[in-house]
Amino acid sequence: MGNCGTQQRIVLPFVPAIAAANRDGVLQWFYLNYRFPPKQTMNCRDYLMELLTFDNTLKPVSPEGRLPHGHAFSANTMCVSSRTSWSPKATRCVVFGKGGAAYEIHGHHDVGQVCIDGNGERLIVEQVGYDGGYIGGSHDVYSAAGHNVLTFNGKDMITDPPRSRVCFDQPEIRNWPALRSRWLARKFDDRRGGYWMLDSTKVYEDVKQVRRLVVHLNPGVVVVLDTATLLKPGEISLNWHTADKCRPDQEGQFVVRGKRGSRLAARVTETGKARLSLARREHKHSKGSYVEASVRGDRCSILSLFCVFQPGEDLRNWKSSAGKWSIQTATGTVDVRVSDTALSVNNREARSGWTIPLQPKPKD
C-alpha cells in the first residue's frame, strides 16, 4: 500500500541470515518460497548477502499449523489480514487492510483500506504510487476517493502531518499521537476465517460516526459493512477499485475477472431504506477503474458482498430474498443477514460462520 508498485514482489535478502542464526525453519520456508527475479523486485535483491548467509543445511518448515492465518497489528498503520491457507502459490482468498496511515513517507488517505486477492491474483486492488506533487505522481492514487473507503462530500480525510520527520530510517516527531482508527473488535480462526471492526470517525470531517466491519468466511467469502452518520445530509460514496473494467448491473452486482481465470462475484447494496446509485467509473490521471456506490443523506449502511471462484469453477451470483443475501459455493450455501444488532455470515451445509455484534466495546 502507499508508494509501492502493485507488481513489485517482496524482497527478503536478510531473511536467510535471521533463519540461520535462529535455526528457524519457517523463516527458511518463507525465503525459499518467495524468491523472485530482479524484474519483479525493482532490482532490489542483494544476491551477495543471500549467498553469504544462506544455510542449505537448515530444512524449511511450512507455517501451516504453526502460524495463524489471520492477525491484526495494533502498532503503526494497524495492518490486518486473513487468508485461507499458507499456500505460497494460490491460497483461495486473502483479504487485507489497515487502520492507520503511513504519514512518515508520503501517506495516502487510506485509513480503513481493504483489498482482496483470490487464487494468487489481485481482484479488489490498491491504487499505488506517489501523489501529484511528485514527478509521475497523481492525486487519484493519493486521495480518499482513490481507495476502497467511504468518502463524504468528495473530501479527503483529515491531514495529520508530524511536526518533523527524517525519511526512511527515522521516526516521526509528534506533539500528539497520529490520527487513526480504533479497533472495536477482531478475531481469527484458521477453520472459519476472521473478522475485524474499525471506528474511523476521527479521520473524517463533519461526521458523527464512521465504522467498517470486515468478515472473512473460509474459503472465499468476504463481507464488508460500512456504516456512517453525518452531522448533516451530504453526498456519501464508496469506491471499490477492481482489477478489470467490470460494470455493475441494476441490482449492484458485478464480476471481477483476473488475468489467470480467478473471478470475484460481488454485490453492493444498502441495508436501510436509502437507494444506492452504482456505476463504473475511471480516474482521470491514473486510469484506475472502480465501481462507485453513492447515496445522498445523513447516514448509510452499505453492505458489500464478495465471493472468490477458482478458474474453471461454476460462477454463481449473490441472491436476495427474505431479508438475507445468499450465494452457492463449492462448500455450501452462504447466507448473510444484517439486523440492528448483529451481522451474520454462515455456511448452511458446513455449519460454520460468524455472528458479530454491531455495538462492541472498543479493544484499545
Kindly report the CATH number assigned to the domain that includes residue 255.
Answer: 2.70.98.70
Q: Is residue 346 part of a domain?
A: no
State mean pLDDT over 124-129: 81
Looking at the structure, do residues 167 and 60 belong to the same domain, yes or no? no
Looking at the structure, do residues 180 and 213 belong to the same domain, yes or no? yes
Q: What is the pLDDT of residues 295-327, one digit of tens each?
A: 999 999 999 999 999 999 999 999 999 889 999
Assigned C-alpha cell, 74:
495494533
- Give the domain-ending residue among 67, 82, 111: 67
Q: Is residue 359 part of a domain?
A: no
3-class secondary structure, 291: strand
Q: How many domains does the chain have?
A: 2
Looking at the structure, do residues 86 and 214 belong to the same domain, yes or no? yes
| Alpha carbon distance 179, 361 (integer Å) | 20
Looking at the structure, do residues 60 and 97 belong to the same domain, yes or no? no
Looking at the structure, do residues 3 and 103 belong to the same domain, yes or no? no
Q: Is residue 80 part of a domain?
A: yes
Place of cell 467511504: 150
Q: Is residue 118 part of a domain?
A: yes
Range of the structural domain that residue 220 is part of: 70-311
Q: Is the dihedral of CA 149, 152, 153, 156 positive or negative?
A: negative
Looking at the structure, do residues 176 and 48 belong to the same domain, yes or no? no
pLDDT reading at 144 higher than 70: yes
Looking at the structure, do residues 178 and 152 belong to the same domain, yes or no? yes
Assigned C-alpha cell, 170:
527515522
Looking at the structure, do residues 56 and 80 belong to the same domain, yes or no? no
Distances in Å between the Cα of 312 and the Cα atoms of 219, 260, 324, 364 are: 16, 10, 28, 44
Looking at the structure, do residues 63 and 74 belong to the same domain, yes or no? no
Distances in Å between the Cα of 279 and the Cα atoms of 239, 289, 291 are: 10, 11, 6
Looking at the structure, do residues 148 and 287 belong to the same domain, yes or no? yes
Looking at the structure, do residues 197 and 261 belong to the same domain, yes or no? yes
- Give the domain-ending residue among 67, 92, 119: 67
| Alpha carbon distance 10, 13 (integer Å) | 10
The least confident of 3-12, 14-23, 30-39, 179-188 is 3-12
Per the CB < 8 A criterion, the answer to whether 121 and 260 are in contact is yes
Q: Is the dihedral of CA 213, 263, 2, 276 positive or negative?
A: negative
Looking at the structure, do residues 273 and 218 belong to the same domain, yes or no? yes
| Alpha carbon distance 67, 116 (integer Å) | 20
pLDDT score of 27: 97
Assigned C-alpha cell, 144:
480518499
Q: How confident is the model at residue 169 (pLDDT cuts 50, 70, 90)?
A: low
- Give the domain-ending residue among 51, 67, 83: 67
pLDDT reading at 135 higher than 50: no
Q: Is residue 128 part of a domain?
A: yes
Per the CB < 8 A criterion, the answer to whether 302 and 252 are in contact is no
